[in-house]
Structure 1
Amino acid sequence: MHDVAREAGVSQATVSLVLNDVSGSRFSDATKDRVHKAVEILGYRTNAHAKVLREGVAGMIGFIGDSVATSPFAGKIIEGAQERAWESGLLLIAVSTGGDKELERASLETLLSYKVAGVVYASMYHQMVDVPKVLREVPTVVLNSEDQAGYFPSIAPDEVSGGFEATQYLLKAGHRRIGLINIESLESGLPGAVGRYKGYVRALEGAGVSVDPALVRFGQGSEPYGFKYVVELMQEPEPPTAIFCANDRTAWGAYQALLELGKRVPEDVSIIGFDNQETLAPHLRPGLTTLELPFEQMGRRAVDLILEGIKPQGQVELMACSLIERNSVEKIKESQ
């Protein structure tokens, strides 16, 4: 810093105030330019370790997740968190553990040893998670999941409103026999499965349509279950004219089953999905109308909460899922 001050023709204190952008300090643009030019010429770099010793916290936020970093569509969570951190002059350090608890423990110890400003504890899909107690030492937000213990603040998709909007979209298109292929059983307690089912029921009952158990199936969120259960549904005495698939992979299986049965999407059966998986939904023929999980917005919001210094009171903030319209839903004909 002495070298930078000598090169710029200013005091060391001026260099420190300019580089740290201290509020209340007033320097001319010419002075700031001289300092920054000297930094560039000399290749000066702030000593991060010294800064941690001085301020007690690093200019970093830790991000740790099971498979979020390697998921083709949930990676937007990291993008959102990273952009928000960078806007505040912070660096996001991301670690993907692959669900390995020993790797998670070691990673958390390393992040905490770096005195990170906070930690985002993320999951690839919405579930109840046991958050390591060591994270109580630092501001922590649970992302795309909920803290089982109800201690940390959590951010997750609003599954109920998403299921409601998907079903209501089909109702507005005139459909009354609407099937549902869920991603898990209700007994599993999986928030996505339970919430999307609740939204489905709420929309039907709000429209005066009774829930027909014969039109509801519980799969495991993969293509084979979409295929299997659409074949079953279409063999019902009164088959559905529309099907709400509780994720896009299930919808993919539904498309294949209808093709094999000689049925067309959406002319014979309308399909709506959930997730807006970019590697899948836009590329189905026709393109899949679906609900988009708000990954990027959730990532940004998690960092916001850390920057705001939110207190750990176990609050859960739910974020709306947006409807993405493509061509897999058609208004029902009067004869149907």
Structure 2
Amino acid sequence: MARKRPATMADIAHAAGVSRTTVSFVLNDRTDVMIPEATRDRVHRAAADLGYRRNAAAQALAKQSSGLFGLVTEIVTSPFAVDIIRGAQQHAWEQDRFLLIAPSEDEQALEPAAIEKLLEQRVDGLILAATWHRAIRVPEIVKDVPCVLVNCYDEEGVLPSVVPDEVAGGRRAARAFIEAGHTRIGHITLAEGIPAQVGRLAGFRTELAEAGIVLDDDLVRAGDATAESGYTEGRALLDRPDRPTAIFCGNDRIAMGLYDAAKELGLSIPEDLSVVGFDDQEILAAYLRPGLTTVALPFAEMGAVGVSMLTAMTAGSTIDDTHVVIDCPLRIRSSVGPVTP
């Protein structure tokens, strides 16, 4: 079966009994031209009846703007990518923009090939979104259009970026324990030196210190973001005769491993041990038993802010704050309780 020929403005003009120029004025929302409302309605009805679609390429050529933003992320490797996309796409729609998404599987640098494909589509700007907070190497071709980095920053510190407030997140975790009366508190960290590990530990330590609580370095154990490290380092902390009554985990997977260690030792959460995670990874945090109190990474909000910044840049506006830090809220569930006598 032959493909139906797309309807044209000439077809609409014939169906509505008006000139092609009138159709063009109506469909392009020209308010500076006096066209009776009844005529406008007739043109819109004819366009709908004929299934008319605007020629995006022709419009982009006329306006010197495609209305498209490109987003590159490790979409195939992380459960968090969908939240970045959701926040970015929703805000893009609100800005009358459409988001084109290209996946990257490179853990160290977002792939130039994916970026090049988006540039071939004449996107007005790019968002490069990492699924874990880090510095990235930015390909030279990124400089061809406005670009914003989300959940990452470039090694040269040139491009605007949106990142989570890791320090404030660490402080929120500490505050949850402080308010429950805990003073002997442990921490299982992420891999040493990455921004999330450094920021979360710094905020956690500072909040405790301001409450008069010293974080014992013997109760800080190095994890690697896996449940296995949560179990191993959790056992090391809980096997101590002077075990902590609360443990802050660098992420929710570590917390999951800690839950297993506590259960193996016959300890109840939160009666014998309070736990706070980080990430708010829904598939884990909400379904652990008891539900895990955790600090949420604001992926959707970071995506939305990235689009907002990019919209301003493509409009020629100056970005006053080129390094935006987004708050990480605490999600209270059931894993933190008061200290038992």
TM-score (normalizing by structure 2): 0.90
Structure 2 partner of 1:110: 117
Structure 1 partner of 2:44: 36
Q: Distance in 1 between matches of 2:81 and 2:26?
A: 38
Match of 1:98 among 93, 105, 122: 105
SS in 2 for 1:144: strand
Match of 1:301 among 281, 305, 325: 305
How far residue 235 of structure 1 moved from its aligned partner, in angstroms, is 2.3
Q: Distance in 1 between matches of 2:215 and 2:34?
A: 67
SS in 2 for 1:4: helix
Q: How does 1:36-115 map to 2 (within 5 A)?
A: 36-65=44-73, 67-68=74-75, 70-99=77-106, 104-115=111-122
Deviates more, 1:91-100 or 1:172-181: 91-100
How far residue 73 of structure 1 moved from its aligned partner, in angstroms, is 3.1
Alignment of 1:331 onto 2:338: yes
What CA deviation, in whole Å up to 9, does each residue of 1:306-327 have, x standing for no partner?
A: 1112557882101001111110
The number of aligned residues is 330
Output the amino acid matched with 2:11: D
Output the amino acid matched with 1:329: V
Structure 1 partner of 2:146: 139
Whether the 8 Å contact between 1:182 and 1:220 is mirrored in structure 2 is: yes
SS in 2 for 1:75: helix
Task: Summarize the Cα distance change of 1:57–1:252 in structure 2 as closer, same or farther, 3 Å threshold.
Answer: same
Task: Summarize the Cα distance change of 1:100–1:182 in structure 2 as closer, same or farther, 3 Å threshold.
Answer: closer
Q: Distance in 1 between matches of 2:174 and 2:34?
A: 58
Whether the 8 Å contact between 1:150 and 1:314 is mirrored in structure 2 is: no
Q: How does 1:1-336 map to 2 (within 5 A)?
A: 1-22=9-30, 30-65=38-73, 67-68=74-75, 70-99=77-106, 104-185=111-192, 188=193, 190-309=194-313, 311=318, 315-333=322-340, 335=341
Task: Summarize the Cα distance change of 1:103–1:241 in structure 2 as closer, same or farther, 3 Å threshold.
Answer: closer
How far residue 32 of structure 1 moved from its aligned partner, in angstroms, is 3.9
Q: Distance in 2 between matches of 1:254 and 1:275?
A: 16
Deviates more, 1:5-14 or 1:192-201: 5-14
How far residue 122 of structure 1 moved from its aligned partner, in angstroms, is 0.7
Whether the 8 Å contact between 1:272 and 1:290 is mirrored in structure 2 is: yes
Q: Distance in 2 between matches of 1:305 and 1:216?
A: 38
Q: Distance in 2 between matches of 1:101 and 1:230?
A: 30
Q: Distance in 2 between matches of 1:201 and 1:232?
A: 20
User: What is the identity percentage for the equivalent residue pairs of Structure 1 and Structure 2?
Assistant: 42
TM-score (normalizing by structure 1): 0.92
What CA deviation, in whole Å up to 9, does each residue of 1:64-96 have, x standing for no partner?
A: 11x235522331110111111122222211011
Q: Which runs of 5 or more residues in structure 1 are unaligned?
A: none
Deviates more, 1:271-280 or 1:36-45: 36-45
Task: Summarize the Cα distance change of 1:258–1:299 in structure 2 as closer, same or farther, 3 Å threshold.
Answer: same
Q: Distance in 2 between matches of 1:251 and 1:103?
A: 29
Q: Distance in 2 between matches of 1:321 and 1:199?
A: 12
Q: Which runs of 5 or more residues in structure 2 are unaligned?
A: 1-8
